């Protein structure tokens, strides 16, 4: 069964990223294969909720986490809503479905000291890769951008005269983020190193490998993981944790939640509020330390 119209809808109208569209397509094809093998049906448009429940049970018994199962069912639900929208379907078999319960994962941010330790250590490496890696870490920590956004940055997105960087976020939504002086200094040095590369194959993207090609997401992850492994004992050390640290540290310093929301590129305040548990903990410490009744 082809899902062409739905895929085009996600890509062209909803403007989802290629990875997101691919994930939706993969989920639909997996359910289609299950329906064909289990019920000998050619189309998932004719299934009922009981059959979908059978797939959910199958996924649970296969060891798939509830979080992953919910994502797969969400893909299916979005597809059925699309079919309702275009009039192909009269009723959504998932209309009364309730998501499986999942345990909330608390993302532990890096401390300000850990971030400072890593950035200070990179001051001593003036090689192309050393300066590039320092800029990657400083950009993550000072802008809160996503890994995919950093990888996609173009040279033209950076404006040193206006002291800003333009970021293309989810659904092609642009946002302008101010650059700190320290980041601009590192950026200027990186551009000098970049211009001195012997063979630049990619002339448009900001971040390159030493071979002159565009950096890739796994390389960026490795940079963050390797450097922060030297300064932090936290289990998870990733670009997302650095983005998380950016938001948490801003909130700890009293930044407005709406302002942080805009910097992160979130569409809803609820998405930003997940970072507030750490700032609330910090407020409790400050309150306990400063309040005149705390010692009574």
- Beta bridge mates, 178: 164
Q: For residues 28 and 5, is the Cβ–Cβ distance under 8 A?
A: no
166 part of the active site: no
Other CB atoms within a 10 A radius of the CB of residue 219 amount to 14
Phi–psi pair at 221, nearest 5 degrees: -60, -45
The 3-state secondary structure of 155-211 reads: HHHEECCCCEEEEECHHHCEEEEECCHHHHHHHHHHHHHHHCCCCCCCCCECCECCC
25 part of the active site: no
From the candidates 14, 166, 205, 240, give the one annotated as an active-site residue: 240
Alpha carbon distances (Å) from 90 to 42, 110, 132, 289:
18, 49, 54, 60
From the candidates 193, 237, 243, 244, give the one annotated as an active-site residue: 243
Q: For residues 69 and 100, is the Cβ–Cβ distance under 8 A?
A: yes
From the candidates 132, 147, 244, 266, give the one annotated as an active-site residue: 266
From the candidates 146, 193, 194, 249, give the one annotated as an active-site residue: 146
Q: For residues 75 and 32, is the Cβ–Cβ distance under 8 A?
A: no
From the candidates 71, 170, 205, 234, give the one annotated as an active-site residue: 170
Q: For residues 81 and 92, is the Cβ–Cβ distance under 8 A?
A: yes
266 part of the active site: yes
- Beta bridge mates, 236: none
170 part of the active site: yes
132 part of the active site: no
Active site residues: 146, 170, 240, 243, 266, 275
């Amino acid at each position: 069964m082809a899902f062409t119209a739905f895929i085009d809808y996600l890509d062209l109208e909803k403007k989802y990223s290629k990875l997101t569209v691919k994930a939706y397509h993969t989920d639909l094809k997996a359910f289609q294969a299950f329906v064909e093998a289990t019920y000998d049906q050619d189309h998932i448009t004719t299934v009922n909720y009981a059959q979908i429940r059978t797939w959910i049970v199958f996924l649970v018994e296969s060891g798939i986490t509830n979080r992953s199962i919910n994502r797969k069912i969400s893909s299916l639900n979005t597809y059925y809503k699309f079919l309702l929208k275009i009039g192909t379907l009269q009723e959504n078999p998932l209309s009364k479905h309730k998501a499986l319960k999942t345990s909330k994962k608390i993302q532990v941010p890096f401390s300000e000291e850990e971030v400072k330790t890593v950035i200070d250590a990179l001051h001593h490496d003036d090689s192309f890769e050393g300066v590039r890696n320092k800029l990657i870490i400083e950009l993550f920590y000072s802008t809160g951008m996503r890994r995919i956004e950093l990888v996609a940055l173009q040279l033209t997105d950076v404006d040193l005269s206006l002291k800003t960087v333009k970021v293309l976020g989810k659904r092609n939504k642009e946002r302008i983020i101010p650059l700190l002086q320290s980041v601009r200094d590192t950026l200027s040095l990186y551009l000098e190193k970049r211009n001195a590369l012997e063979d630049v194959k990619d002339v448009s993207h900001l971040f390159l490998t030493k071979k002159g090609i565009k950096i890739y997401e796994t390389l960026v992850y490795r940079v963050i993981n390797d450097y922060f492994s030297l300064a932090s004992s936290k289990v998870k050390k990733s670009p997302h944790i650095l983005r998380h640290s950016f938001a948490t540290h801003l909130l700890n310093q009293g930044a407005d939640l709406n302002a942080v929301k805009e910097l992160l590129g979130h569409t809803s305040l609820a998405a930003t509020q997940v970072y507030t548990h750490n700032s609330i903990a910090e407020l409790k410490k400050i309150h306990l330390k400063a309040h005149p009744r705390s010692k009574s």
